Amino acid sequence: MNINTIISMISDAEIRSLLEQIVALLPGYWFSVPASSSGKYHPTFSLGEGGLVRHSIVVAYLARRNALAWGMTEWEQDVLTAAGLVHDGLKQGADGSEGHTVHEHPVLMANFIREHFAGEAAELMAHCIESHMGQWTTSKYSDVVLPAPTDKYQWALSAADMAAATKELAMAPDFFE
């Protein structure tokens, strides 16, 4: 599975185009860094070169499955798939100079989408992304308090991210082929 596989799952042409535009604007580090700079909070498949992209692919896939299981429409599934792929698009900040996860990255990414794109799909993506950290709304390294999930869309993405970041997750070796 790869980014193009995820994009091809999206049947709505406008959402697919929106996602492609967002991915094109993401900082270069998104394609190369591991999902966890310390290695403590993600399974082995998401560590090393390109780990953040692999993590994001799994989140997008699981978010779509959550949306389907919870009876959401195909349009809602498409939005959650797109949100899942780019939820950590600014994980190390706007330019990656931090070199590690920035606590407020969910809000940074949500605001990035709101600043660059308009429309119902873009707003729902931003809405889902800003609370994807679930119950982990605070950090001893930041004064920012992240919003917690409050509706089915936010919970679908947060649950997908939490599952994809489970260290014990054993993925089939061919999942990313």
Q: Is residue 174 domain-resident?
A: no
Cα–Cα distance for residue pair 117/126, rounded to 1 Å:
10
The predicted-structure confidence for 141-174, as pLDDT tens digits, reads as follows 889 989 999 999 999 999 999 999 887 765 555 6
For the stretch 20-79, pLDDT in tens is: 999 999 999 999 998 987 777 787 788 889 889 999 999 999 999 999 999 999 999 999
Report yes or no on 155 lying in a domain: yes
pLDDT of residue 177: 58
List the structure tokens of 67: 């949306």
CATH code, domain with 142? 1.10.3210
Look up residue 31 and give its two tokens: 């394609």
Q: Which domain holds residue 128?
A: 3-164
What pLDDT sits at residue 84? 98
23 within a domain of the structure (yes/no)? yes
> Structure pTM?
0.93
